Amino acid sequence: MLLELSLDKIATLTQGKILAGKGENVFSHISIDSRQIINPGKTLFVALRGAKADGRDFIPALAAQGVAGFLVHDDFDLGKIIAGNVGIVAVQDTRKALQALAKYQREQFKKPVISITGSNGKTIVKEWLGQVLSQTYSVAKSPKSYNSQVGVPLSIFGIEPYHQVAILEAGVSKAGEMEILEKMIRPDLGILTNIGTAHDDGFASTAEKIREKLSLFRDSKLLIYCKDQRLLGEQIEQSFDSDRLISWSEVAGADFSRSLKSMEYGTRMILMKKDLSTFTFQIPFTDPASLENITQVIVAAITLGQAAESIQEGINHLRPVDMRLTLKPGINDALLIDDTYNNDLGGLKVALDFMQQQRPKRRKVLILSDLLQQGMPERIYGEVSELIQNHGIDHIIGVGKEIGRLRESFPGKYSGFATTEDLLSMLNPEEFSNDLVLITGARSFGFEQVVNRLQQRIHGTTLEINLNALTHNFNFYKRQINPGTKVMVMVKAFAYGGGAVEIANHLQTMGADYLAVAFSDEGVTLRKQGIRLPIMVLNPVEESFDLCREFQLEPVVFSPDFFKSLALYCQNHQTHLSIHLDLDTGMHRLGFEEAHLEELKQLIQKTPQLPVASIYTHLVGADEEIHRDFSLAQLHQFARMKDEILAVLPYKPLVHALNSAGIVAFPEYQFDMVRLGIGLYGVEVTGKYDASLRPISTLKTTISQVKILNPGETVGYSRKGMLPNGGKIATLSIGYADGYDRRFSNGKGFVLIQGKKAPVIGNVCMDMVMVDVSELDVKAGDEAIIYGEQISLKELADQIGTIPYELLTNISTRVKRVYYLD
């Protein structure tokens, strides 16, 4: 929500100029996403410019939908708007204008604002602090990881007058960014979690990074920090007066001295203040990171005056929070969105927006608990009702005492239950066939039981795909190309193992221009799941012509004979098929050679049933500098060949040559479109921008059993595995049938368990692999990472003499794919 502002006031705050509309027009909603308009008649749409899209391109359609106001750059063409009473304010920079509005909104909130920053742990501290404080106060907090130059303003717009405290997260990646965030947030109480290596490339030194983080708190009344981080503690104490600092430490001398004692089911924490007053808490965690985070939370809660009993009550409901919106396969082709840690209005909006972006299913079902400690129920559930109705929900399943208020205003089906146990007793997974189901609720409702009841059981091994990392990589490559260059994304081979349908749907949402698949049946699957983007088929066969026609797939044509076959099919069926011409400039796999050009030109001219959508070639060695001259020769040959073809066409098809490596190595040859493949999935094959990409997938499994071996005992088939001095092994539930390559046998491969390497011992089996855990304290059920952010695919591929492509595409379809936003 936005505090009600007139068009005049908006123009004043943003130093803008009213181009259209009446100055007295009032707005109470703000949006930066054309897909997330709730109340168009009261909405101000801010047209941001980004790597993926320019917000002004959506303005005509939004005006036609009834959106009442727009904040635009001062070069906006007013002629694009054909509407009566639309208000338009032009500014020099719409992002700065958005921040100016957020600054004003923050100034109107007179209650405590807490801000959290640091290299690690800030999101989890924010979530836990919100849950603990909500035992006593009505809390506003940043949704998810909304901590950026745009995320912070959106978080501030979520603060309502009835909130008693606000918690805002702040994140920066380079020097100078925090000053902008500080002007908006103006925290009363600060928490600095820690300083790590994240975003080191954006700062000249660790000291500069600390100074940047600390600038958030320059005017805050108090700052909480851990004194045990020596460099951090010293710089804080040099920068701030001691009466503004609240420190905690394992040793005496801090404002809070902490002592820990391990218990059977967690940890006992004792905090002693300098006046010798003590606080004792039972913590459900034992790992150092969680204990550090919960200490920050407890010290902040005590500082705000929350009673120890209330803090403990909040802690009792905590567990390590999976800070992600997770997409999981459900029973009978249902699709589940697991948001079971969330319980506030801002988080619900994010989850509903995520739901809106998914591929169409039979129904949209929302399973929602009471929103606890959120303020006045009449107002809260009124806003919830408005949110739900604007997101097209078909069926609400409500759990709790207050959620039933939605029944009166919701026009669809409503089912109410007093408790989660009541819901589970009646929950039949068969009723959710082909449904899209969002499950979101307060921790105390235990909705993870609902997810477990509805989700598909496939395999203990899971491939997790981070959709935010995918977006990051897509935007990285968008920044490497010209604004008008289109992007075709390769989703062949099950989207490099990641799952073609969900990844294609996300790409469609992000603004990709084209998709490419290897075979027609892959394209058919995408069409049946609601993918509307143009789809190029790289390896079509004559038997698939019917499918190409029925599902609007665009086949690659690579030889005169294949061209003639497809032309004859179109003539016989009185139809047209858009085609893509593959020119062979050195790959010597498929494609027209220069000797074919005369015949090809004649075929094109006499076959209007086959309009040419694009002309392209494959680079052989763009990923290796040693082949640079050959690649340039390919590109020059391609330029000549495509010019000959273009000369006989009365229209201009798309032209493309660059793959992921080529985008980086030969940016001057972008032509009309580039083809993004392995780079999207986090592998930068040239090695120039490794640090700029994020791995999108993590393959993980669990320990099935732990065994002790005596000296001389062997492991696995053919007795290949041996620990001469004896030791301990763990059997993992993954094997070569899941895509874990057999070449990793006998110490060639390793996994990570508890952050430490465990080498493979013996041969990789079909469904299992054994690893040496002699030096680790592990048990059945513990997680093992096969690859991900901590284990480089390149490193693993090098170990067995292959390439990352093979490791990615080998992951079996029996391995469950889980998609999430972190």
Q: How far apart are the C-alpha atoms of 150 and 152, rounded to whole Å? A: 6
Q: Which residues contact 171 (CB under 8 A, 6 or more apart)?
A: 117, 122, 145, 147, 148, 151
Neighbours of 814 (CB within 10 A): 12
Could you confirm whether 341 is annotated as catalytic? no
Neighbours of 664 (CB within 10 A): 22
Q: How far apart are the C-alpha atoms of 769 and 790, rounded to whole Å? A: 20
Return the closest-CA partner of residue 554 out of 520, 507, 505, 526.
Answer: 520
What one-letter code names the amino acid at 318? L
The one catalytic residue in 478, 492, 700, 816 is 492
The one catalytic residue in 96, 401, 717, 779 is 717
**Beta-bridge partners for 783:** 702
Return the closest-CA partner of residue 557 out of 581, 586, 593.
Answer: 581
DSSP state letter for 160: -
Instruction: List C-alpha distances in Å: 609 to 15, 70, 237, 603, 647.
Output: 55, 44, 76, 11, 19
Contact 811, 699 (CB under 8 A): yes
DSSP state letter for 359: P
Contact 21, 87 (CB under 8 A): yes
> Which tokens go with 393?
């929900």
Q: Which residues contact 796 (CB under 8 A, 6 or more apart)?
A: 744, 749, 787, 804, 807
Could you confirm whether 717 is annotated as catalytic? yes
Give the DSSP letter string of 574-632: T----EEEEE-SS--SSSB-GGGHHHHHHHHHT-TTS-EEEEEE--SSTT-GGGHHHHH
Rounded to 10°, the helix 308-316/122-133 angle is 120
Phi and psi for 623 in degrees, rounded to 5?
A: -85, -5
Q: Collapse the DSSP code of 132 into the 3-class scheme (helix H, G, I; strand E, B; otherwise coil) and give the result.
A: helix
Instruction: List C-alpha distances in Å: 79 to 20, 75, 640.
Output: 11, 12, 41
State the pairing for strand pair 222-226/189-192.
Answer: parallel
What one-letter code names the amino acid at 153? P
Return the closest-CA partner of residue 87 out of 18, 133, 35, 183.
Answer: 18
Total length of the chain = 822
> Which tokens go with 66?
């009834």
Q: How far apart are the C-alpha atoms of 222 and 3, rounded to whole Å? A: 28
Q: Which are the catalytic amino acids?
A: 492, 717
